[in-house]
Amino acid sequence: MSGWVEEDGTEYVLRDDGNYDVIPPKKAAPKKKAAKKAKK
């Protein structure tokens, strides 16, 4: 695989025909809230 990643995270992947697929940057997954401690 040949290509590069732009500063904004967009990925360019070389295709067999000499052109590139453009893959948008992945959005960061939302952070999971910490599980509450069970009350004793």
Q: Which of 1, 6, 16, 29 binds other proteins (CB under 8 A)?
A: 6
The residue assigned the tokens 């910490």 is 34
Q: Is 11 among the residues that bind other proteins (CB under 8 A)?
A: no
CA atoms within 13 A on the CB side of 27: 3
Two tokens, residue 26: 């992945």
Closer of 10 and 33 to other proteins (Cβ): 10
In the three-class reduction of DSSP (H, G, I as helix; E, B as strand; rest coil), residue 22 is classed as strand
Closer of 17 and 30 to other proteins (Cβ): 17
Binding interface with other proteins (CB under 8 A): 4, 6, 10, 12, 15, 18-22
